[in-house]
Amino acid sequence: GHDKGVDYWSLGIMLYEFICGSTPFQALLQSKTFEKIVHAHKYLRFPRSFDSHAKSLVRRLLNPNASLRLGNLRGGAEDVKQHALFDIAKFNWNELREQKIEFAYKPCDNIITPQVELIDLQHEASVKDGASYDHEFQTLRDLGTTDFE
């Protein structure tokens, strides 16, 4: 099993990807990706534009040794919340908890959405144990289709 250390690892990966737009341990071969993860201290690279405090936080969250990973230490989540990145930004954790933070990123109104088939949720909710499938099957049988028994 895994403990909370995996969650802090994932937080480090997400922060890196949000800032860089790419994954920190990408490789063509899965075995090479695993090697980069296990030896993160050697393979983890940051673009020059990466904020130094964000880099510090990500490095500490991506420590391959879970027992030394930020958030997985004695101070737990408080260690993460007290990191210099959040202190300098004057991040208000209470406002986050109360969902009062105004986020800088606002999606565009004219986002192009892919054309997808929408599911009729009312119809789906009315289907019990494949009842509509039996009806469709019976309809095909009534039409004289002989491929069904």
Return per-residue pLDDT of the chain as tens, 149 residues. Answer: 678 999 999 999 999 999 988 899 999 999 999 999 999 989 999 999 899 999 999 999 999 999 999 999 999 999 999 999 998 888 899 999 999 988 776 656 555 555 666 666 666 666 665 555 455 545 445 555 444 33
Q: What span, in angstroms and rounded, lies between the C-alpha atoms of 70 and 102?
A: 27
- pLDDT recorded at residue 103: 75
- pLDDT recorded at residue 63: 94
- Collapsing DSSP to helix, strand or coil, 24 comes out as coil
- pLDDT recorded at residue 66: 92
49-54 contacts at long range (C-beta below 8 A, 24 or more positions apart): 50/19, 50/20, 51/19, 51/85, 53/83, 53/84, 53/85, 53/88, 54/15, 54/19, 54/85
